[in-house]
Structure 1
Amino acid sequence: MTRVDFLISYAGPDRPWAEWAAQQLERNKFTVELDVWDWATGDNFVLRMSDALARCDRVLALLSKDYFDRERFTTDEWTVVLAERPDKRGRRLIPLRVAEVEPPSILRAVLYRDLFGVPELEARQRLLAAVTGPSRPAGDVPFPGSAVNNAPTPPTGGARVPGSLPAVWNVRRRNPAFTGREAELAGLRQRLCSGDRALVQALHGIGGVGKTELVVEYAHLFANEYDLVWWIDAERPELIGEQLAALAVAADWLTPGASATPAATESVMRRFHGMPGWLLIYDNAPSADAVGALIPDGTGHVVITSRSRQTSKVAAAPIEVDVLTRPASVQLVLDVRPELSATDVDRLAAAVEDLPLALTQAAGLLAETGMTVDEYLQELTVDPAAVLSEGPTGHYPGPLAAAVAAAMRHLAGQDEAAAQLLRLIAVLAPEAVPLRWLIGTPEGTLPRPLATVASRTLALRRTLGRIAALGLARVDSDVIQMHRLTQAIVARTTSSAETESSDRLLVEASPGYTGEPALWPKWADLLPHLLVRMPVTASSALRDLAASALYYLVLRGDYRTAKQWGHLWHEQLRQQLGPDDLAVLEIAAQLANAHALLGEYQEARRLNEDTLTRRRRILGDDDPVTLRSADSLGSNLSLLGDHEQARRRQEDALARSRRVLGDDDAETLSSANNLARSLYELGEYEQAHSLYEDTLTRRRRVLGICQDR
């Protein structure tokens, strides 16, 4: 029987500590047995544990709350070793705390050391001191009164101490009430580390089952194993570019304010090739296939969460996330309401079908209101019509909808402003809503009493706290976000007046000028909500905002998304409002821009000619908006090779612009620049040079930069 120096004894959630400790010991020439490294799938766990205890010299016990759970095998490990008589080297059990925990009374007389809450170098020194035993100093002990610099040298190489985060990281805080899922976490880790190039792991399951919470827990649990971890909200794949650009800025791959162009995305993807130690998380994707083009080709790890299990185009291993086991469900509730009886909690878990989101909301409602389980179960039957019966994955669980309805009734009785806020954002996208949108809004934007509450910071924070306490939304320091299931249920109770308030809120949240890259992150916040509301609403202000959003997409280089949404909005609004509506014409103009920039010049020309004809008839030949259309059509003609006709149109547009707007107006200078380009294409180089030079001089004087529309 081959002996080993140490067996690592630990609870499943503490696996990162176990792997870190094992690696430190092996680097110091000790032999180690660790189940996840040395025991194969299919081995008899009990026999392997028995053999390991028999042939190890010492057992390194990593103490935490989970370690002393009586249902775990760790109980057998430490009690067996503790019962043995000490040999001449001393006791075989070496206890090390990896979390704040009070050991059982039988262990309180045993000396232990703490590895948590200290820098990695100190944790490593404590670990090695614990296994090698005390020793006398080899050199002089420093005089306590001297100013000796005892700063430790930084660690070199290897995984960081568990609990430490990588420099590039944007994962939200872990859920302190997270429980269970140990098998899923261990399985996910094993599959990701199964080879040199792990398959993409695609977690799927119904909404509210806890896919996101599982991945958040995994990211925090194994954060020390990665140099980069980035979380991407992937519900709308066309909006991922902004988040990849933010990653590139955080990693110092791109400068702040860099555009989220397709070229920038490709550059980020190339960065991952051959680069180890990274984890990308695509959360709530429509399917794994929907983000397939954004999966880097490298040796890092990719995790996708989705309701869909579709992975036909991506080499992804589909993993179904089911509801919690009953013991985990019970523990989840008892963490919030420890005074409840096991029988009552079991009834509650059965009523909500062990769905994590439903359990969290139910526990929050019980804690907030003090209602009994019987009262809560009665509430589940009050409004069966509130059950959301249709969803992307079939039928949503009825108890979840009833729990949300009960929580909303309680919230409305406690704080009507809080209920108004939830009903207002329920008709928006299931994305984060910046709290800055609520603060300082003009009179009439928000309904009362929400408008009054939003005007006072303390009152708003109290309202947000009541929402968070009931589990109806996630509230961070600067955003509020509802879960899509909760949102779908609450939206059914939103009044038409509150829906109009939602639209007004989006209009007031407009960042304004689209040509300023510094404002683009604010446009990125706004866009998902606008995509949901357009063209559902009849608000003219929101239609104008939609046209500006299309221009933002064009400016940032996302021409295909601009084309997709521009076409949809143009067709639907054209049918609703008619082809001469000014907002319809502006959307058509931006759609033409997208076509032109995609090289679809004939379609761009068709749209621009129609838009120009209608604007001339409605607004007149000299209106600045009409002049912009004329200039755009001229540029189209030039791109199609009809430089002579382009020249005639651009000369007319420039003459009118100079007369109406003045020689130094930005629109006039843009027209002059476009005419100079056509003159150059016609071979009239001297005229082109003269016009270019005059335009540049004026732009430098007026704008300070050379700017083209």
Structure 2
Amino acid sequence: MAEQRSGGAADHGARNAPQHVLVVFPGYHRPWANWINQRLDAHGVRATLQRWDPPREVPLEDSLGDLLLARGQVLLVLDDWFFQLGPRAAGEWNDVLRGFVAAHADRFAAVNLTNRTLLPATAVLEPVSLWGVGEEEAEARLFSRLGIDPRRATGRRLPAGALVRFPDTPPEIWGEVPRRNPRFTGRDDLLTDLQERLMDAERGNAACTLLGMSGIGKTQLAAEYAHRFSSDYDIVWWVSSDDRNVQRDRFGELAVQLGLSTGNEPGERIRAVREALRRGDPHSRWLVVFDGWDDTDGADVILPQGPGHVLVTSRNRGWGDHTEIVEVPGFDRAESTAYLMRRAPHITAPEADEVAAEFGDVPLPLVQAAAWLGESRMEVSEYLRMVRDGSISAVDEPAGPYGMPNSSLTSWSILINRLRLSQPQAIDVLSLCASFAPGRIPLGLVRAYPQADLPEDLRWMVTDLAAWSRALDTLVNYSVLSRESRGPADGGETGPHQESVHMHRLVHNIVARLTDGERRAAHRKAVRTVLAEADPGNPTDSRNWPRYAELLPHLEPSGALASRNPRVQTAVLNCLRYCLRSAEFRAGIRLAEKIREQWSTFMDPVSNEMLELTSQECVILRKYGRFRDAYQLDLAVSARLAEAAAPNPLGSLRAAVSIASDLRYLGQYQESERVQREALAEARRLLGENEHLTLSAGSNLGIVLRNLGRYQEAYDQDVETLARAESALGALHSLTLITSNNLAQDLRLLGHYREALARQEANVRVQVRILGPQHLQTLYARAQLALCRRREGSFQQDLGATMASVLDQMQQVHGRGHYLTLSAINNYANYLREHGDLDQARELSHEAEAGYRALLGPAHPVATGVLANTALVLQASGERADALAILEAALAGLTSSLGPDHPWVLGCALNASAARNFNGRVADAAELSRDTLRRARHTLGNEHPLTLSCQVALATDLRGLRETDEAGKLEEAALLTLTRTLGAQHPHTLSARQRNRPYWDFEANLG
């Protein structure tokens, strides 16, 4: 039964507390409703939440009367938006408040969440204001209005983690979520369904994609979800995902907000962020929104898992393979008409219905139509006449672009033609935006670089701040674009020079068609000039990478790729260098192809700019694993240089160094060595011993010598190169660090395990400090360190976990099929086989084998060598006949491509001799073992671990043939040498003493 009221607002506390409260709220204020519900529950008062948007067709008095069917108090959560629910004719709310509500004043109460003026008749509700007060005061006012004694807390106590955050307290981390749209309409059921799906999903799988066509309102829906349910999260982070580089940079910025210790390299930051989100440390309640992510490639590298939630907006149905799909339909008709009538109050319900039908209830054109009607107060009949007859359209209408109604283009032309008359500077801004890419547009760069050569009609943007702000405000008011601001890195104040805007891709397409094409060329020139001015000039410095990621999407639409301006061309090449340095190889390949397509139309193919383009492109292609493409490109350039009228010794030298690297990756080691030696000699002649290109050629020669199995020569070459690099470039230069890694690898392959380990530990420490723990180069160094520890024998504890971790991080950086990831897979499979996990070892060995075959072709030495590892797994599993067949084939293939004395051939022969023995062919095994030992002594020396393994293997075969005297002598000599060189407790020594048959692991390494 309802409680009787005995006094006015000041006397609320004198009443008995209600036993039940119906909390009535618009969906927009769900966070407040949740907070009110929890506070009431904590004080023993039952509450029911009622989201309310009464149908316009139902009389308001009837809708309010339905609320009174609930017992107890009805608490209305008010702001000025509340009285637009419906929406209704002017005066209807005041009439009902003065009549029906006043007659039932004892049943109604209200709280007010705004400082704006409410309808005069709301006085009957005696609302208490919760606007702008702290949580304690808000709770006190709420309880006072409802007559609840806050000292009598009889409800249940909730743990701290379950408490609903006070709505005016933002999440601890709030990252560039678009400003809340105060005109957001409807979608309540969709938002509620979305929340339930995310909340009910299993931990680690709470990911949904809002799927729909352009203009359907996916971004607005995601932004409203972030605001409406912000109290459920400690982190809300928005990632614009139209461009992959911007996406990676933006997602990686969360590392800074989380206080994670990382470098500036995007891949490193992304991995750190994903790991922190997976652990839920420091926050387990998180929401990450990826807006406009249409390309599912790379989803497994970025998409986070863990206790939080992921929301994607996309047009790509392929997201169903990664997330749960939530289809976003158009507005229902009630939502369409409600939005139109709120934004343009002068129109009637039938008129709103006619406009909604004209635009097919698609939100984006409806937003523009409502903005136009609301601002211009044009009659609907006149507006629809202009839309339908296209009398003012400047261009032919497309046939439903992006699924939009055909009439939308005419609707936009009405707006733009009116702006040409009333606010021509807004048209200047629009035209300029059309010369950028859609999505996030760093428009503030125009003001940041006043020295840029702007055309006369745009110079006001630099000199007239008031006009600049007025033009942007006009476009925002008409829902053409939205404003964004990203604060500076130092946390200082933002300004117009840092301002960005966001333009929907569909709006961008329409604006580009309808704005002044005559000035487009000048505006595009202005944009590319500004982009060039904004080039930091040093893409090797990771602190500049966020700026390059911001510039990259706008190169093509601005015409920068076709520019003949040397300053612009330098900026374009710097963006390409950024792609290389930041490991954005796919983006780099696409950019290089587009640059080449443009430059080839007007530039000499052997100009310095084209040669630099080729040099960068070939490195990126090799880094990405497209070795054959890099080789063909290098050959073509080399041929052009040879045919050129004027000799270019330096250009030819750079091409030769690059070709030598291509040949090495393609497995043509002998030819690579020949070309590399010639290039090194030429570099010394042209440049001297200590120039970077000379040192790079020397380092590459060391690599190819190692590929040829000439480990001592490789070591000698690397010692010389390292000494010169440290002197000329410094100990911390990238080339110096690479050469030091190579030297440690030489030492390990020579069997000097302790020296190799000591050097590689030092290498990793330096690279972690200089480059960060998850930089690509550091990851490779860490993989080499794991091999050093495995060979040295003293650091076996946690080695498997280390190798698995490196593999996981390699996969995140490169993908599963990249040659460095395949190397990590191969090495981890060897470790697992050695430690008895044959099932996983078999799976990984087959994956490495198939991956290398697909990448390199079956005849490549590396693709052949990994067969030996597959055979060892089969042999350990008892499949000895199959293992023997594979090893014999691998031995024949390696011998054919590398010659009989290469260490890879010797190792494969060691395994093949064991397989022959295990299959009962002991005499054949002994014959192969004897020949292998002879060759190993010649190639590697008497004390190399592989030579000693061959010696132990021969002893085993001889015992099988009952030639025990020779077997004993060979075994005893091998044990003495192993003890002296590796130590009595080294795994190789212990295994030989226990008469275990030795084996050889193939370490797949292309570079």
Query: Scaled by the length of structure 1, what TM-score is found?
Result: 0.79
| Residue number in structure 1 paired with 2:37 | 22
Amino acid at match of 1:183: D
Amino acid at match of 1:218: Y
C-alpha change, 1:226 and 1:613, in structure 2 (3 Å) is: same
Deviation at residue 161 of structure 1 after TM alignment: 1.1
Deviation at residue 121 of structure 1 after TM alignment: 4.2
Query: Which structure 2 residues correspond to residues 319-468 of structure 1 after superposition, within 5 A?
Result: 319-323=327-331, 325-326=333-334, 328-332=336-340, 334-335=342-343, 337-338=344-345, 348-366=355-373, 373=380, 376-380=383-387, 381-384=390-393, 386=395, 388-390=397-399, 393-394=402-403, 396-414=404-422, 416-439=424-447, 445-468=453-476
- Which of 238, 260, 263 aligns to 2:266? It is 260
Deviation at residue 242 of structure 1 after TM alignment: 2.0
Amino acid at match of 2:445: W
Identity, in percent, stands at 28
The question of 1:12 aligning with 2:27 is answered yes
| Residue number in structure 2 paired with 1:516 | 541
The question of 1:176 aligning with 2:206 is answered no
Deviation at residue 301 of structure 1 after TM alignment: 2.4
| Residue number in structure 2 paired with 1:218 | 225
C-alpha change, 1:106 and 1:521, in structure 2 (3 Å) is: closer
Higher helix share: 2
Distance 2:449 2:645 in 1: 33
Distance 1:385 1:540 in 2: 33
Amino acid at match of 1:316: E
Q: CA RMSD in A?
A: 4.5
Q: Deviations over 1:364-387 (max 9, x none)?
A: 445666655555445432245635
Q: Contact conserved, 1:5 with 1:56, CA < 8 A, in 2?
A: yes
Q: Deviations over 1:422-441 (max 9, x none)?
A: 23432432122212432365
Deviation at residue 108 of structure 1 after TM alignment: 2.5
Q: Contact conserved, 2:98 with 2:124, CA < 8 A, in 1?
A: no
Deviation at residue 266 of structure 1 after TM alignment: 4.4
Deviation at residue 442 of structure 1 after TM alignment: 7.5
Q: Contact conserved, 1:289 with 1:310, CA < 8 A, in 2?
A: no
Deviation at residue 15 of structure 1 after TM alignment: 2.0
C-alpha change, 1:573 and 1:524, in structure 2 (3 Å) is: same
| Residue number in structure 2 paired with 1:150 | none
Q: Contact conserved, 1:676 with 1:689, CA < 8 A, in 2?
A: no
Amino acid at match of 2:462: A
| Residue number in structure 1 paired with 2:163 | 158
Q: Deviations over 1:504-531 (max 9, x none)?
A: 4444443432212111111111112225
| Residue number in structure 1 paired with 2:274 | 269
- Which of 582, 585, 601 aligns to 1:559? It is 585
C-alpha change, 1:415 and 1:274, in structure 2 (3 Å) is: same
Deviation at residue 80 of structure 1 after TM alignment: 8.5
Q: Deviations over 1:642-680 (max 9, x none)?
A: 666555545554565566556665545544554565567
Deviation at residue 249 of structure 1 after TM alignment: 2.6
Amino acid at match of 2:730: R
Larger radius of gyration: 2
| Residue number in structure 1 paired with 2:757 | none
- Which of 603, 614, 626 aligns to 2:640? It is 614
Amino acid at match of 2:721: L
- Which of 102, 120, 132 aligns to 1:117? It is 132
C-alpha change, 1:552 and 1:624, in structure 2 (3 Å) is: farther
| Residue number in structure 2 paired with 1:689 | 719
Amino acid at match of 2:398: S
- Which of 290, 302, 322 aligns to 1:282? It is 290
C-alpha change, 1:627 and 1:554, in structure 2 (3 Å) is: same
Q: Contact conserved, 1:288 with 1:316, CA < 8 A, in 2?
A: no
Deviation at residue 260 of structure 1 after TM alignment: 1.8
Deviation at residue 173 of structure 1 after TM alignment: 0.9
C-alpha change, 1:462 and 1:667, in structure 2 (3 Å) is: farther
Distance 2:425 2:115 in 1: 40
| Residue number in structure 1 paired with 2:239 | 232
Q: Contact conserved, 1:654 with 1:668, CA < 8 A, in 2?
A: yes
Distance 1:664 1:333 in 2: 75
Distance 1:124 1:47 in 2: 31
Q: Contact conserved, 1:534 with 1:569, CA < 8 A, in 2?
A: no
C-alpha change, 1:457 and 1:334, in structure 2 (3 Å) is: same
| Residue number in structure 1 paired with 2:481 | 473
C-alpha change, 1:701 and 1:156, in structure 2 (3 Å) is: closer
Query: Scaled by the length of structure 2, what TM-score is found?
Result: 0.58
| Residue number in structure 2 paired with 1:43 | none
| Residue number in structure 1 paired with 2:970 | none
Distance 1:409 1:671 in 2: 62
Distance 1:678 1:311 in 2: 43
The question of 1:204 aligning with 2:214 is answered no
| Residue number in structure 2 paired with 1:550 | 576
Unaligned runs of 5+ in 2: 2-17, 52-60, 153-159, 486-498, 739-776, 778-1007
- Which of 251, 273, 282 aligns to 1:244? It is 251
Q: Deviations over 1:384-441 (max 9, x none)?
A: 56354256744x2233212322222233344555434423432432122212432365
Distance 1:700 1:555 in 2: 19
| Residue number in structure 2 paired with 1:593 | 619
Amino acid at match of 1:403: S
Distance 2:734 2:315 in 1: 51
Q: Contact conserved, 2:726 with 2:736, CA < 8 A, in 1?
A: yes
Amino acid at match of 2:718: A
Deviation at residue 18 of structure 1 after TM alignment: 1.6
Give secondary structure in 2 for the equivalent of 1:177.
Answer: coil
Q: Contact conserved, 2:423 with 2:471, CA < 8 A, in 1?
A: yes
- Which of 74, 84, 95 aligns to 2:110? It is 95
Amino acid at match of 1:494: G
Distance 1:72 1:520 in 2: 49
The question of 1:296 aligning with 2:296 is answered no
C-alpha change, 1:501 and 1:69, in structure 2 (3 Å) is: closer
| Residue number in structure 2 paired with 1:167 | 172
Amino acid at match of 1:175: N
Query: Which structure 2 residues correspond to residues 650-669 of structure 1 after superposition, within 5 A?
Result: 650=676, 653=679, 656-657=682-683, 665-669=691-695
Distance 1:374 1:623 in 2: 74
- Structure 1 window deviating more from structure 2 (320-329 vs 661-670): it is 661-670
Amino acid at match of 1:319: E
Amino acid at match of 1:165: P
The question of 1:633 aligning with 2:659 is answered yes
Distance 1:427 1:642 in 2: 47
Give secondary structure in 2 for the equivalent of 1:285.
Answer: coil
C-alpha change, 1:692 and 1:161, in structure 2 (3 Å) is: same
Amino acid at match of 1:447: P
Unaligned runs of 5+ in 1: 37-45, 86-90, 138-154
